[in-house]
């Protein structure tokens, strides 16, 4: 291994270690309360060294969200291998996102916060190099719109739907539903005596009734 290659590998290792440290800090303190000083201390680095790798805590937060999106995409791609028809795939996507929410709650919360925070959204829009590293978000939306288009072509899904808009709406609805469900889960169970599994099934039914021709 050459000197340059070794340096690059060490730099990448440090890069990931800083993101690991930021994850721990954000998990404990939340995005708003956490500071770059906190992250540098957790990573056992000086603040100046941390700034050699990341411009701000906002940029670090984006990389954490990207990690979460990669895990979500992996779950969706695994689910794809089990089904064939468009309607089966839509249900598989929904179940994969719910599994992601259960398996990686911190990543789910981070992604939701990122999507609803104007400051973080401005960072996302201004940093083209970051956005185009993996295009994870675009891949997720593309999968939704593609399977809806297939369903339209096979006469299973309403032909009047715009595939991209419908895919985006389902994704946004599910994200919002899961976020509110987490916050109000105990209240729903106590006040309405509705179990989470039942509520999720009702949600699935509403989605399918809204898009299918049957």
pLDDT digits (tens, 9 = 90+) for 23-52: 999 999 999 999 999 999 999 999 999 999
Does 78 lie in the same domain as 48? Answer: no
Q: What confidence tier does 183 reach under pLDDT thresholds 50, 70, 90?
A: low
Does 3 lie in the same domain as 102? Answer: no
State yes or no: pLDDT of 112 exceeds 70.
Answer: yes
State yes or no: pLDDT of 118 exceeds 90.
Answer: no
Q: Which residues pair with 157 in a beta bridge?
A: 212
Does 68 lie in the same domain as 34? Answer: no
Does 160 lie in the same domain as 118? Answer: yes
State yes or no: pLDDT of 196 exceeds 80.
Answer: no
Q: What's residue 42's pLDDT?
A: 97
Give the pTM.
0.80
Report the candidate in 117, 145, 137, 113 with the shortest Cα–Cα distance to residue 27: 113
State yes or no: pLDDT of 53 exceeds 80.
Answer: yes
Q: In the predicted model, what is the mean pLDDT of residues 94-113?
A: 88
What is the count of structural domains for the chain? 2
Does 165 lie in the same domain as 70? Answer: yes
**Which residue reads 């060490």 in tokens?**
10
State yes or no: pLDDT of 98 exceeds 50.
Answer: yes
Estimate to the nearest angstrom the gap between the alpha carbon of 212 and the chain centroid.
26
Does 77 lie in the same domain as 43? Answer: no
State yes or no: pLDDT of 128 exceeds 60.
Answer: no
Name the residue with higher pLDDT: 145 or 130: 145
Estimate to the nearest angstrom the gap between the alpha carbon of 163 and the chain centroid.
20
Q: 79 by DSSP, 3-state: which?
A: helix
Query: pLDDT tens across 65-79, in order?
Result: 889 989 998 999 898
Q: What confidence tier does 182 reach under pLDDT thresholds 50, 70, 90?
A: low
DSSP state letter for 207: H
State yes or no: pLDDT of 154 exceeds 90.
Answer: yes
> Which CATH number covers residue 12?
1.10.10.60
Does 22 lie in the same domain as 78? Answer: no
Domain containing 99 equals 57-211
Name the residue with higher pLDDT: 214 or 60: 60
Does 187 lie in the same domain as 106? Answer: yes
Does 10 lie in the same domain as 84? Answer: no
Query: pLDDT tens across 6-15, in order?
Result: 888 899 999 9
Q: What's residue 141's pLDDT?
A: 83
User: How far apart are the C-alpha atoms of 35 and 143, rounded to whole Å?
Assistant: 36
Does 96 lie in the same domain as 197? Answer: yes
Q: Which residues pair with 212 in a beta bridge?
A: 157
> Which CATH number covers residue 173?
1.10.357.10
Q: What confidence tier does 131 reach under pLDDT thresholds 50, 70, 90?
A: very low
User: How far apart are the C-alpha atoms of 3 and 42, rounded to whole Å?
Assistant: 29
User: How far apart are the C-alpha atoms of 62 and 122, rounded to whole Å?
Assistant: 11
User: How far apart are the C-alpha atoms of 96 and 76, rounded to whole Å?
Assistant: 5
**Which residue reads 């593309």 in tokens?**
142
Q: What confidence tier does 132 reach under pLDDT thresholds 50, 70, 90?
A: very low
Does 119 lie in the same domain as 20? Answer: no
Q: What's residue 149's pLDDT?
A: 95
Does 181 lie in the same domain as 131? Answer: yes
State yes or no: pLDDT of 179 exceeds 80.
Answer: no
Report the candidate in 179, 170, 111 with the shortest Cα–Cα distance to residue 144: 170
């Amino acid at each position: 291994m050459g000197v340059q290659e070794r340096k690059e590998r060490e730099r990448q290792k440090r890069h990931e270690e800083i993101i690991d440290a930021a994850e721990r800090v954000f998990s404990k303190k939340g995005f708003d309360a956490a500071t770059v000083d906190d992250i540098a201390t957790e990573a056992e680095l000086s603040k100046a060294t941390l700034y050699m790798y990341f411009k701000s805590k906002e940029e670090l937060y984006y990389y954490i969200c990207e990690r979460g999106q990669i895990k979500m995409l992996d779950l969706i791609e695994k689910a794809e291998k089990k089904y064939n028809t468009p309607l089966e795939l839509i249900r598989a996507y929904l179940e994969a996102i719910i599994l992601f929410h259960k398996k990686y709650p911190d990543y789910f919360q981070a992604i939701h916060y990122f999507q609803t925070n104007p400051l973080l959204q401005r960072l996302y829009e201004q940093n083209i190099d970051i956005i185009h590293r993996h295009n994870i978000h675009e891949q997720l939306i593309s999968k939704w719109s593609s399977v809806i288009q297939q369903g339209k072509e096979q006469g299973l899904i309403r032909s009047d739907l715009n595939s991209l808009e419908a895919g985006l709406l389902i994704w946004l609805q599910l994200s919002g539903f899961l976020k509110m469900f987490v916050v109000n889960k105990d209240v729903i169970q106590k006040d309405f005596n509705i179990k989470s599994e039942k509520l999720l099934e009702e949600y699935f039914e509403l989605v399918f009734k809204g898009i299918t021709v049957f």
